[in-house]
Amino acid sequence: MTAVHQAVVGAGPYDAVTEQVRAWRRLLAADGFAGTDHASHIDPRLRTGFRPLAELEPDHGDLVVIRYSAWSPALMALLDLPNPVLLVYHNITPAGYLWKHSPALAVQCAVGRIQLPAFARRARLVVADSDFNAAEMRTAGAADVRIVPILFEPERLAARGRPPAGAGPLVLVVGRIVPNKRHDRVLDAFAAYQGACAADARLLLAGEPLDPDYRRLVEGFVGACGARNVTIPGGLTQPELNAAYAEADVLLTLSEHEGFCIPLLEAFHFGVPVVASPKGAMPGIAGDAALWTDDDPAVTAELLDLAVRDPELRAELRRRGRVRLERFGAEATAAAVREAIALALD
């Protein structure tokens, strides 16, 4: 049977694209497809599942799925293969967020955006996981873009680890600690919330930092804005993250650039109200099931207070979140993945 191989630039723990590679692999294996998963950079903590991209040597007719979230020379080399290519666009962070903090990553992102049309031209089928990403692909020249959302697997969210310590309302922020997520604005808003509404509130910033230097920078913001009870544990294991969702009173995201934002769906799954900035793909994913804020930290603080203290509002947001989640049901998405694979192999 034809094999389906997947290629990404970076694979690591706590990474959404890596998780999608694994989720597709489980689905493909269940459907009888063989294949291997490859990455240009494999985090040493990731012990199994990925091979170096240079080792990808597909047989004639095998499908190569390129998951595009940054650029690497090895990824570019895949365009020269004679095999059919399915391009899955996960979005690329604008380099402007990264030039100062991680020049190497900024280069990957800048070149990634420049080369987007070349990947779009070469692909037999282009898939984006959100309307926002699809619009970017169309701008890059892809005439026909199919939407295949993130394959959301609720069973991952069952196991429970140790819950976060302490009492008081828990404001949860989930996502890599990188500049476009604007943890500086999160801390400003949380400090305002603590000062005006809930002195005993806790803030948990769950996510892998860009690097140790950037982590120190964000830790410095905590002291500068006067916030207390802030925990920055780094990446959490899935059971630990599940326990944090189960304990959380509200999920906050003030990210300025999101290609999808899986934490929105995870919060809906756990019935946690969401306060978010209406940027990137987030309005399209969360719709009317989130409280949308502006750039004023005081306004965000008041929205956090509403989301924590108003039981009827919480119940309504939970109800809307469940409705929203149905759009991203695993079965419907799995069917869309199968259809995309079949079209790309056709």
Partner 1 sequence: MTRPEQALAHARAEAARKRAAGGYTKAGAAALDDSIVSGPPSPELLSRWAVVEGDPRLLYSTRRAGGPITALKRLIVRLLRQYLADVESRQTRFNIALLAGMHELEGRIGALERAAEAGAADAGPGRPAGGPRAPARPAATGERPGGGSTDVPA
**Residues making contact with partner 1 (CB under 8 A):** 43-45, 95-97, 99-101, 103, 179, 182, 184-185, 188-189, 191-192, 195-196, 211-213, 221, 224-226, 288-303, 306, 310, 312-313, 316-317, 320
Whether the Cβ atoms of residue 147 and residue 128 lie closer than 8 Å to each other? yes
Cβ closer to partner 1: 164 or 179? 179
Cβ closer to partner 1: 77 or 196? 196
Task: Count how many Cα atoms sit within 13 Å of the Cα of residue 154 in the half-sphere of its side chain.
Answer: 14
For the CB of residue 225, give the shortest distance to partner 1 in the complex, in Å: 6
Cβ closer to partner 1: 150 or 250? 250
Whether the Cβ atoms of residue 159 and residue 242 lie closer than 8 Å to each other? yes
φ and ψ of 139, to 5 deg: -60, -30
For the CB of residue 14, give the shortest distance to partner 1 in the complex, in Å: 11
For the CB of residue 302, give the shortest distance to partner 1 in the complex, in Å: 4
Buried b (16+ CB within 10 A) or exposed e, 34-66: ebbbbbbbbbeeeeeebeebeebebeeebbbbb
For the CB of residue 322, give the shortest distance to partner 1 in the complex, in Å: 14
For the CB of residue 156, give the shortest distance to partner 1 in the complex, in Å: 23
d(CA 324, CA 32): 31
For the CB of residue 43, give the shortest distance to partner 1 in the complex, in Å: 6
In order, the DSSP letters of 112-164 are: HHHTHHHHHHH-SEEEESSHHHHHHHHHTT-S-EEE------GGGG----PPP
d(CA 338, CA 332): 10
Cβ closer to partner 1: 52 or 226? 226
The residues that bridge with 170 in the sheet, in sequence order, are 202
Cβ closer to partner 1: 22 or 101? 101
Cβ closer to partner 1: 121 or 319? 319
